[in-house]
Amino acid sequence: MSHGFSILGKWIKSSLDPGEDFNNNSRLDPGNVATVPPTVTTDASGFALFDVVYAREFTWVEVELEARTIVTGSEGSAQVIFFLRGAASDFNNCSIAPPGQVSPYGIATTCVCDERTDATCPVFTGTNPVTLTAASTTLPNVGGTFTFGVSGGTQTSYNLTATAGTLSTQTVIFGQTFSLTLPPNPSTTTNLTITLTARDATTGQVGTLSLTQLP
């Protein structure tokens, strides 16, 4: 038997046996993502309250909780299986990606190969392209600060680059805007072409937007 630890008398495996690592990440999934106190003391009515603590991104992981008690030499136990629920406040704002939207257990569409080392593995690319938006793609020759938005992909976060000017941030989350500050166009006769790039931080999907600064 693999080594483990006891939670309320319930043994939980914490090491791999041969043939169990189906997704090649060298660990058991989902792992011990929730914690409870090892012991609790009941009150006069026989009840005890305690917290199950877990990170927000592990919402909807299914867990089994077991409690054991020994009273005057007799041992009793009870089990319950439930999902780790999320807070309503994490899901009632459509402009902010909820925790756990992108699975912490990987984004491959199959567990038979490792997408980190095998380029032939099918991976999630999203049905929506990454799209950059602006009020106008034609910018004045005097420069200034201009605001942009980005959406699509997994709608979580994006890494930003620009071929000219200064970005207000290198990373932006879905639903937030960002800005690009440009100096005046140094040429009085030639348009300056600027390319904005947003890369989905999860899947690597890329969206670009071409801007033209007038001379």
Give the pLDDT confidence score for residue 37 in this predicted structure: 86
Residues of the chain with CATH 2.60.40.10: 131-213
pLDDT of residue 23: 58
DSSP string spanning 126-181?
A: -SS--EEEES-SEE-TT-EEEEEEEE-TTSSEEEEEESSSEES-SEEETT--EEEE
pLDDT at residue 21, as a whole number = 65
Our separate counts of H helices and E strands in the chain read: 0, 15
- Spatial separation of the C-alpha atoms in residues 180 and 162, rounded to whole Å: 8
Per-residue model confidence (pLDDT) at position 1: 27
| pLDDT in the model for residue 4 | 29
Give 10-residue mean pLDDT values along the chain (215 residues).
34 59 64 82 82 85 82 79 86 76 62 62 64 95 95 86 94 90 94 94 86 95
Q: Can you give the pLDDT at residue 126? A: 52
Q: What is the pLDDT of residue 3?
A: 29
Q: So what's the pLDDT on residue 10?
A: 42
**Model pLDDT, residue 213:** 96
pLDDT at 161: 94
Please tell me the predicted confidence (pLDDT) of residue 9: 36
Fold of 131-213: Immunoglobulin-like (2.60.40)
User: pTM for the whole thing?
Assistant: 0.47
